[in-house]
Amino acid sequence: MNQCFATVARGLEALATQELEQLGANSVESGFCGVAFEGDRALLYRVNLWARLPFRILVKLHEFPCHDAEDLYRGIQTIDWSQYLTPDQTLAVNVTGKHEQLNHTHFTALQVKNAIVDQQQEAFGDRSNVETQAPDVRINVHVDRDHCTVSLDSSGDSLHRRGYRPAVGSAPLKESLAAALIQLSGWQPEQMFYDPLCGSGTLPLEASLKALNIAPGLFRDRFGFETWLDFDSALLEQLIQEAEASKRDLLPAPIWGSDRSEEVIQQAIANAQRCGVLDHIWFSSMDLSDVVAPADSGVLFCNPPYGERLGRDSDLGAFYKLLGDILKQRFKGWTAFVLSGNKELSQSIRLKSSQRIAVYNGTLPCQLMKYELY
């Protein structure tokens, strides 16, 4: 049984706990910026393939008390690395956490790497090379308050990079955050979904992947565990085939996205094509001022520009007021969710929110505001 830790964005721990339970994980326990759980190899592969919220799934190898660099070296050397890594495989070490003595992540990573390759030299007279971009084995070392946890990173590249989105607009949401917002909203695929400020389409695309029961990991080139010594390719192939077979053929309700920029709409279309949902989803270029409700009811979702990443803009207040007016006048019968990282701007919407959910967009504290429009 593997002891695992799924890393997630701050604030999404409870939601990720539910997701992991639904995927069949055992002993699931919410932590800070992550969720601990247990499971066998099939579960590890399934979580990497299906989970929409985590960044990485770490598999714990060892933990030990660690006060300084010497403790770290000794602790790392108590692991028999030949079980996980041969000298002809490459490695990378990622360090996370806060520690009074070990406060330079680069130095800490170097110390870990040295402990591993020294052990290899002694045993085989040969050692692994470091490869930071696409290593065969990625090692995660978390040092926190005199405690060190050593794990293998089974995901490789962060899971939020689904692989369907080489093309992105000017301030795209991470795919995992978009999936989390949709989950938080309670949207059901039987309801129409519309994002009138969709950029490169992350929200409508994540909604369609969920509604069509498409596993988000199907678009990746590879998972970290595929270059592990114990990789079971037949098992992964079986899980991929099961995922392919469980896709739904049709959306129960339409999913739309629009944006005033023709360029980002072309990116959204290219992204939809990459994840095979272009026949199901509808994108068009349209200014917000021309937008009308495409149905009597549904869920409107958007993340308007808020100055942080798109540059300060004195007209943003007027833009938020326009958004509020359009929601009020043209979307009666709908529920709207607006993500904003700027409280002042949110107030310019001038509608009373029925719920506000605190979330982080990277390091930026944001709010997902819910408006019942009637």
Ligand X SMILES: C[S@@+](CC[C@H](N)C(=O)[O-])C[C@H]1O[C@@H](n2cnc3c(N)ncnc32)[C@H](O)[C@@H]1O
- Residues binding ligand X (CB under 6 A): 169, 171-173, 197-200, 202-203, 259-261, 264, 287-288, 303-305
Closest distance to ligand X from the beta carbon of 152 (Å): 31
Rank residues 135 and 324 by Cβ distance to ligand X and give the closer one: 324
Q: In whole angstroms, how close is the CB of 186 to ligand X at the nearest point?
A: 19
Q: Would you state the structure tokens that stand for residue 230, as one six-digit string?
A: 């114990």
Reported in sequence order, the residue ranges of the chain that DSSP labels E, i.e. its strands, are: 2-7, 26-31, 34-39, 56-65, 91-96, 137-144, 147-153, 193-195, 255-259, 281-285, 299-302, 335-340, 355-361, 364-372
Nearer to ligand X, 34 or 305 (CB): 305
Q: For residue 30, what are the β-bridge partners?
A: 35
At its nearest, how many Å lie between ligand X and the CB of residue 272? 12
Return d(Cα 305, Cα 319) in angstroms, integer: 9
- Minimum CB separation of residue 162 from ligand X in Å reads 12
> Looking at beta carbons only, is 227 or 261 nearer to ligand X?
261
Q: Which is nearer to ligand X, 151 or 303 (CB)?
A: 303
- Name 366's bridge partners: 359
Phi first, then psi, for residue 58 (nearest 5°) are -100, 140
How distant, in Å, are the alpha carbons of 222, 329, 366 from that of 158?
A: 11, 41, 22
Question: Nearer Cβ to ligand X, position 109 or 326?
Answer: 326
Residue number, nearest CB to ligand X: 199
Instruction: Tell the smallest beta-carbon distance from residue 304 to ligand X (Å).
Output: 6
Give the HSE-up count for residue 9: Cα atoms under 13 Å, Cβ half-sphere: 24
